[in-house]
Amino acid sequence: MRRRLLMAIACLAFAGIIVPAASADPIQAKNATQIHATCGGQPLTVVVNGNGEFTAAHVVGSTSVFIPTAFNLTFTFTPVGGVPMSDTDTSAKAGPGKNTVTCTIPLQTLFSGPEGTATIHGSVTGFFTPR
């Protein structure tokens, strides 16, 4: 049950960050999640909105999209008055071998509410479109 909860949080987090470039306003989309990252030394904010683990992320302020191919992320959910529950996602899929970049995601809060607080940190490898 704990693993399912953390994986659901992970999917929602990345689903809210990644939106196809044709989207009108990914930041305002239902269930959108903003994540701050540093990719190739450049800080950026992405928005994920979708249910798939490998959902693409829309780069805020551009038409670029980040396509993830591997994760090394830790998600932590701390219920109000409870003990933190953490899960690390190290999923990977075959992807293009060239032009990949690893983005670092510093510790940040995904959401905080009456049920508790969820955080994320780690790294994601993938590539940007257009190439």
* pLDDT at position 10 over 80: no
- Look at residue 16 in the predicted model and tell me its pLDDT: 41
* pLDDT at position 63 over 70: yes
Average the pLDDT over 56-77 and give the result.
94
Q: Return all residues near 50 (Cβ < 8 A) that are at least 6 apart.
A: 14, 15, 16, 18, 19, 56
**Domain edges within the chain:** 2-129
- Look at residue 30 in the predicted model and tell me its pLDDT: 60
* pLDDT at position 25 over 60: no
Contact between 17 and 33 (Cβ < 8 Å): yes
Nearest to 34 by CA among 63, 62, 60, 7: 60
22 or 52, which is more confident:
52
- Look at residue 29 in the predicted model and tell me its pLDDT: 57
Residue found under tokens 């269930």: 31
- Look at residue 98 in the predicted model and tell me its pLDDT: 78
- Look at residue 103 in the predicted model and tell me its pLDDT: 97
Per residue in 69-124, pLDDT (tens digit) is 999 999 999 999 999 999 999 999 976 677 899 999 999 999 999 999 999 999 99
DSSP classification of residue 8: H
Q: What is the DSSP secondary-structure string of 17-78? A: H---TT-S-GGGSTT-EEEEEEETTEEEEEEE-SS-TT--EEETTSS-EEEEEEEEEEEEEE
31: pLDDT confidence band, cut at 50, 70 and 90? low
Structure tokens at 111: 């959401």
d(CA 52, CA 91): 12
- Look at residue 24 in the predicted model and tell me its pLDDT: 44
